Structure 1
Amino acid sequence: MSEREKDVMQMYDALAPDEKRLFSASNVNHLGWSLVVVLALLLAWFGAALVNAENQRNALMTKQCQDRVFKEEVDKTCLLTVRSREHWWQHLTYALGHLSPEK
């Protein structure tokens, strides 16, 4: 191989892809972000459960689901569909703000 051919081969070798960096590795922490997503979903699920419980508690306290025939009993089908406040966030803010029962 002549000197000129060696120079040309070195020039084209510099253009060849680096095999060490050919397959890029991700720098994202998948375990950390997966944990963040799971905790966010768990927090949303707990929030929905808290809103539902506070909705039913408020309906029982204001006697919105009192049985029509037996005045001391509770209409359980009413508890499934009652909306004791206008918005879900009102239930959430009340439940987070009042941690102990009222006297």
Structure 2
Amino acid sequence: MSDREKGIMEAFNALEPDEKRLFSVSNVNHLAWSLVVVLLVLAGWLAAALVNAENQRHALMTKQCQDRVFKEEVDKMCLLTVRSREHWWQHLTYGMGHLSPEK
């Protein structure tokens, strides 16, 4: 084989894909990121449940949902739709700050 043919063959061999780097490898830990996403969804769900419970608790404490006919009873439909504070984050901050009931 002549030098010219050797040069052409080396150039041709340089165009072949490198089998060691042919398949891309991801360095991202998918299990860890999936766990982070699941925990964020769980934290959001728990925050929404806390806001709902605190909304109903505050409505009961301030007697916003008393039954009109029977004064000692609670109107359950009112509890489902009541907004006892201005914003949802007020319920969340109160619920996160007060872990035990007031005396």
Distance 2:10 2:68 in 1: 94
Distance 1:21 1:96 in 2: 51
Bigger mean CA offset, 14-23 vs 85-94: 14-23
Extract unaligned runs of 5+ from structure 1.
Answer: none
Extract unaligned runs of 5+ from structure 2.
Answer: none
Distance 2:34 2:80 in 1: 34
Per-residue Cα deviation, 1:19-43 (whole angstroms, up to 9, x for no partner): 2212201111000000000000000
User: Who is 1:55 aligned against?
Assistant: 55
Q: Partner amino acid for 1:13? A: N
Aligned length: 103
Aligned residue for 2:20, secondary structure, equals coil
Q: Check if 1:33 corresponds to 2:33.
A: yes
Matches for 1:1-103 after TM superposition, within 5 Å: 1-103=1-103
Aligned residue for 1:86, secondary structure, equals coil
Distance 2:20 2:77 in 1: 66
Q: Partner amino acid for 1:20? A: K
What is the aligned-residue identity percentage? 81
Give the TM-score of the pair, scaled to structure 1: 0.95
Aligned-residue offset at 1:17: 1.7
Give the TM-score of the pair, scaled to structure 2: 0.95
Bigger mean CA offset, 68-77 vs 9-18: 9-18
Q: Partner amino acid for 1:96? A: M
Q: Partner amino acid for 2:91? A: H
Aligned residue for 1:48, secondary structure, equals helix
Aligned-residue offset at 1:15: 2.7
Distance 2:25 2:78 in 1: 56
